[in-house]
Amino acid sequence: NAGVTQTPKFRILKIGQSMTLQCTQDMNHNYMYWYRQDPGMGLKLIYYSVGAGITDKGEVPNGYNVSRSTTEDFPLRLELAAPSQTSVYFCATNRDTNTGELFFGEGSRLTVL
Amino acid sequence: QQQVKQSPQSLIVQKGGISIINCAYENTAFDYFPWYQQFPGKGPALLIAIRPDVSEKKEGRFTISFNKSAKQFSLHIMDSQPGDSATYFCAASSRSARQLTFGSGTQLTVLP
Protein backbone atom coordinates (compact mmCIF):
# COMPACT_ATOMS: atom_id res chain seq x y z
CA ASN A 1 0.00 0.00 0.00
CA ALA A 2 1.34 3.42 -0.96
CA GLY A 3 -0.78 5.33 1.58
CA VAL A 4 -1.08 8.99 0.56
CA THR A 5 0.73 10.02 -2.63
CA GLN A 6 1.30 13.63 -3.61
CA THR A 7 2.59 14.97 -6.92
CA PRO A 8 4.59 16.93 -7.81
CA LYS A 9 7.11 17.06 -4.96
CA PHE A 10 8.56 20.38 -6.15
CA ARG A 11 7.25 23.08 -8.46
CA ILE A 12 8.17 26.64 -9.34
CA LEU A 13 5.42 28.86 -10.70
CA LYS A 14 5.37 32.38 -12.06
CA ILE A 15 2.89 34.88 -10.64
CA GLY A 16 -0.50 34.42 -12.29
CA GLN A 17 0.08 30.86 -13.46
CA SER A 18 -2.26 28.03 -12.50
CA MET A 19 -1.57 24.50 -11.42
CA THR A 20 -3.05 21.48 -9.68
CA LEU A 21 -1.49 19.55 -6.82
CA GLN A 22 -2.52 15.93 -6.97
CA CYS A 23 -3.34 13.72 -3.99
CA THR A 24 -4.26 10.05 -4.17
CA GLN A 25 -4.88 7.61 -1.33
CA ASP A 26 -5.33 3.84 -1.30
CA MET A 27 -6.53 3.46 2.29
CA ASN A 28 -10.23 3.86 1.46
CA HIS A 29 -10.54 6.73 3.92
CA ASN A 30 -13.54 9.00 3.54
CA TYR A 31 -11.96 12.11 5.03
CA MET A 32 -9.28 14.01 3.13
CA TYR A 33 -7.57 17.32 3.90
CA TRP A 34 -5.22 19.86 2.37
CA TYR A 35 -2.89 21.77 4.68
CA ARG A 36 -0.22 24.34 4.03
CA GLN A 37 2.85 24.60 6.24
CA ASP A 38 4.79 27.82 6.63
CA PRO A 39 7.81 28.27 8.94
CA GLY A 40 6.75 29.01 12.51
CA MET A 41 3.07 28.90 11.58
CA GLY A 42 2.22 25.25 11.96
CA LEU A 43 -0.27 23.58 9.67
CA LYS A 44 -3.22 25.57 8.36
CA LEU A 45 -6.23 23.80 6.88
CA ILE A 46 -7.12 24.93 3.35
CA TYR A 47 -9.98 22.61 2.37
CA TYR A 48 -11.32 19.27 3.45
CA SER A 49 -13.71 16.61 2.23
CA VAL A 50 -15.81 14.09 4.14
CA GLY A 51 -16.51 11.96 1.10
CA ALA A 52 -16.85 11.93 -2.67
CA GLY A 53 -18.79 14.95 -3.89
CA ILE A 54 -18.54 16.82 -0.57
CA THR A 55 -16.00 19.54 0.15
CA ASP A 56 -15.77 22.39 2.63
CA LYS A 57 -13.54 25.34 3.39
CA GLY A 58 -10.93 25.31 6.11
CA GLU A 59 -9.11 28.18 7.75
CA VAL A 60 -7.27 29.58 4.69
CA PRO A 61 -9.24 28.73 1.50
CA ASN A 62 -8.74 31.94 -0.48
CA GLY A 63 -6.91 31.40 -3.76
CA TYR A 64 -7.55 27.66 -3.83
CA ASN A 65 -10.20 25.27 -5.11
CA VAL A 66 -10.76 21.55 -4.65
CA SER A 67 -12.90 18.76 -6.02
CA ARG A 68 -13.62 15.23 -4.85
CA SER A 69 -15.08 13.06 -7.58
CA THR A 70 -13.77 9.78 -6.16
CA THR A 71 -12.83 8.43 -2.72
CA GLU A 72 -9.20 8.13 -3.83
CA ASP A 73 -8.45 11.55 -5.32
CA PHE A 74 -8.52 15.05 -3.84
CA PRO A 75 -6.75 17.57 -6.12
CA LEU A 76 -5.97 21.12 -5.00
CA ARG A 77 -6.15 23.83 -7.67
CA LEU A 78 -4.33 27.17 -7.59
CA GLU A 79 -5.90 29.44 -10.20
CA LEU A 80 -3.77 32.62 -10.12
CA ALA A 81 -0.57 31.91 -8.23
CA ALA A 82 0.68 34.62 -5.89
CA PRO A 83 3.94 34.83 -3.88
CA SER A 84 1.89 34.40 -0.69
CA GLN A 85 1.10 30.86 -1.85
CA THR A 86 4.75 29.85 -1.62
CA SER A 87 4.57 27.05 0.92
CA VAL A 88 4.75 23.33 1.52
CA TYR A 89 1.41 21.65 0.91
CA PHE A 90 0.35 18.45 2.63
CA CYS A 91 -2.52 16.17 1.80
CA ALA A 92 -3.85 13.98 4.60
CA THR A 93 -6.53 11.37 5.15
CA ASN A 94 -8.49 10.18 8.16
CA ARG A 95 -10.61 7.10 8.68
CA ASP A 96 -12.47 8.39 11.71
CA THR A 97 -12.46 12.02 12.85
CA ASN A 98 -13.10 11.01 16.46
CA THR A 99 -9.59 9.63 16.69
CA GLY A 100 -8.11 12.53 14.76
CA GLU A 101 -5.32 10.31 13.42
CA LEU A 102 -4.26 11.87 10.15
CA PHE A 103 -2.10 10.08 7.60
CA PHE A 104 -0.01 12.57 5.65
CA GLY A 105 1.64 12.51 2.27
CA GLU A 106 5.26 13.66 1.94
CA GLY A 107 4.34 17.12 0.78
CA SER A 108 4.60 19.32 -2.29
CA ARG A 109 6.95 22.31 -2.12
CA LEU A 110 5.63 25.19 -4.20
CA THR A 111 7.52 28.40 -4.96
CA VAL A 112 5.82 31.31 -6.68
CA LEU A 113 8.17 33.88 -8.22
CA GLN B 1 -11.65 29.70 20.56
CA GLN B 2 -10.01 27.37 18.05
CA GLN B 3 -6.42 28.34 18.74
CA VAL B 4 -3.79 26.04 20.18
CA LYS B 5 -0.69 27.81 21.46
CA GLN B 6 2.59 25.90 21.51
CA SER B 7 5.93 26.70 23.12
CA PRO B 8 8.85 26.86 22.80
CA GLN B 9 9.40 27.47 19.10
CA SER B 10 12.76 25.73 19.29
CA LEU B 11 14.48 23.55 21.85
CA ILE B 12 18.03 22.25 22.16
CA VAL B 13 18.67 19.36 24.54
CA GLN B 14 21.70 17.24 25.30
CA LYS B 15 21.55 13.52 24.63
CA GLY B 16 19.99 11.77 27.61
CA GLY B 17 18.16 14.87 28.77
CA ILE B 18 14.42 15.53 29.06
CA SER B 19 12.64 17.49 26.34
CA ILE B 20 9.45 19.28 27.34
CA ILE B 21 7.04 20.96 24.92
CA ASN B 22 3.93 22.75 26.13
CA CYS B 23 0.56 23.53 24.57
CA ALA B 24 -2.45 25.49 25.76
CA TYR B 25 -5.95 25.62 24.32
CA GLU B 26 -9.07 27.73 24.77
CA ASN B 27 -11.93 25.67 23.37
CA THR B 28 -13.39 23.57 26.19
CA ALA B 29 -15.11 21.37 23.60
CA PHE B 30 -11.76 19.88 22.57
CA ASP B 31 -11.65 16.22 23.61
CA TYR B 32 -8.76 14.72 21.67
CA PHE B 33 -5.15 15.87 21.92
CA PRO B 34 -2.57 14.25 19.64
CA TRP B 35 1.10 14.99 19.10
CA TYR B 36 2.67 14.69 15.67
CA GLN B 37 6.33 14.23 14.81
CA GLN B 38 7.79 15.51 11.56
CA PHE B 39 11.22 14.76 10.12
CA PRO B 40 12.72 17.01 7.41
CA GLY B 41 11.23 16.34 4.00
CA LYS B 42 8.46 14.14 5.39
CA GLY B 43 4.86 14.61 6.38
CA PRO B 44 3.88 14.66 10.06
CA ALA B 45 3.12 11.32 11.70
CA LEU B 46 1.08 10.58 14.81
CA LEU B 47 3.32 10.07 17.83
CA ILE B 48 0.98 9.79 20.82
CA ALA B 49 -2.47 11.04 21.76
CA ILE B 50 -4.60 11.53 24.87
CA ARG B 51 -8.23 12.13 25.78
CA PRO B 52 -9.15 14.36 28.75
CA ASP B 53 -10.45 11.50 30.92
CA VAL B 54 -6.85 10.69 31.91
CA SER B 55 -4.10 12.99 33.19
CA GLU B 56 -1.15 11.13 31.72
CA LYS B 57 -0.34 8.70 28.95
CA LYS B 58 3.02 7.06 28.43
CA GLU B 59 4.37 5.22 25.41
CA GLY B 60 8.00 4.26 25.75
CA ARG B 61 10.07 7.41 26.27
CA PHE B 62 7.17 9.68 25.31
CA THR B 63 4.63 10.93 27.86
CA ILE B 64 1.69 13.30 27.52
CA SER B 65 0.66 15.17 30.66
CA PHE B 66 -2.80 16.73 30.60
CA ASN B 67 -4.21 19.40 32.92
CA LYS B 68 -7.89 19.88 32.14
CA SER B 69 -8.50 22.71 34.61
CA ALA B 70 -5.59 24.73 33.24
CA LYS B 71 -6.41 23.77 29.65
CA GLN B 72 -2.82 22.73 29.07
CA PHE B 73 -1.03 19.63 27.89
CA SER B 74 2.59 18.81 27.37
CA LEU B 75 4.90 16.29 25.74
CA HIS B 76 7.83 14.91 27.69
CA ILE B 77 10.60 13.01 25.92
CA MET B 78 12.74 11.13 28.41
CA ASP B 79 16.33 10.12 27.65
CA SER B 80 16.26 12.26 24.49
CA GLN B 81 18.25 10.87 21.56
CA PRO B 82 19.70 12.53 18.44
CA GLY B 83 17.17 10.50 16.43
CA ASP B 84 14.40 12.42 18.21
CA SER B 85 15.53 15.61 16.46
CA ALA B 86 12.44 16.68 14.55
CA THR B 87 9.59 19.16 14.58
CA TYR B 88 6.78 18.38 17.01
CA PHE B 89 3.21 19.62 16.67
CA CYS B 90 0.48 19.47 19.25
CA ALA B 91 -3.11 19.47 18.05
CA ALA B 92 -6.67 19.34 19.32
CA SER B 93 -10.11 18.46 18.04
CA SER B 94 -13.66 18.00 19.23
CA ARG B 95 -16.34 15.44 18.38
CA SER B 96 -18.36 18.03 16.49
CA ALA B 97 -15.40 19.18 14.42
CA ARG B 98 -14.14 17.40 11.36
CA GLN B 99 -10.65 18.79 11.59
CA LEU B 100 -7.64 19.14 13.84
CA THR B 101 -6.33 22.50 15.04
CA PHE B 102 -2.54 22.45 15.14
CA GLY B 103 -0.05 24.34 17.26
CA SER B 104 2.75 26.28 15.58
CA GLY B 105 5.37 23.56 16.08
CA THR B 106 8.59 23.08 18.07
CA GLN B 107 11.87 22.30 16.39
CA LEU B 108 13.76 19.94 18.70
CA THR B 109 17.50 19.39 18.34
CA VAL B 110 19.15 16.73 20.49
CA LEU B 111 22.91 17.15 20.62
CA PRO B 112 25.06 14.00 20.66
Cβ–Cβ < 8 Å for B80, B26: no
Residue B2: the pLDDT is: 60
Residue B105: the pLDDT is: 95
Residue B109: the pLDDT is: 98
Cβ-nearest to B99 among A41, A58, A101: A58
Residue A95: the pLDDT is: 84
pLDDT tens sequence across B59-100: 999 999 999 999 999 999 999 999 999 999 999 988 777 778
pLDDT tens sequence across B10-68: 999 999 999 999 999 999 889 899 999 999 999 999 999 999 889 999 999 999 999 99
Kindly identify which residue of chain A lies nearest to residue B35, measuring between CA atoms: A101
B43: contact with A, CB 8 A cutoff: yes
Q: For residues B89 and B22, what is the distance between their CA atoms, to the nearest angstrom?
A: 10
Residue B95: the pLDDT is: 74
Residue A48: the pLDDT is: 94
- A33/B44 CB distance under 8 A: no
- Tens digit of pLDDT at every position of chain A (113 positions): 689 999 999 999 999 999 999 999 999 999 999 999 998 788 999 999 999 999 999 999 999 999 999 999 999 999 899 999 999 999 999 987 767 789 999 999 999 99
B37: contact with A, CB 8 A cutoff: no
Question: In Å, what is the CA distance from B39 to each residue of A67, B15, B26, B42, B83?
Answer: 29, 18, 28, 6, 10
- B100/A102 CB distance under 8 A: yes
Distance from CA of A100 to the nearest CA of B (A): 7
Residue A98: the pLDDT is: 66
Kindly identify which residue of chain B lies nearest to residue A98, measuring between CA atoms: B95
Q: For residues A81 and A70, what is the distance between their CA atoms, to the nearest angstrom?
A: 26
Cβ-nearest to B89 among A31, A42, A56: A42
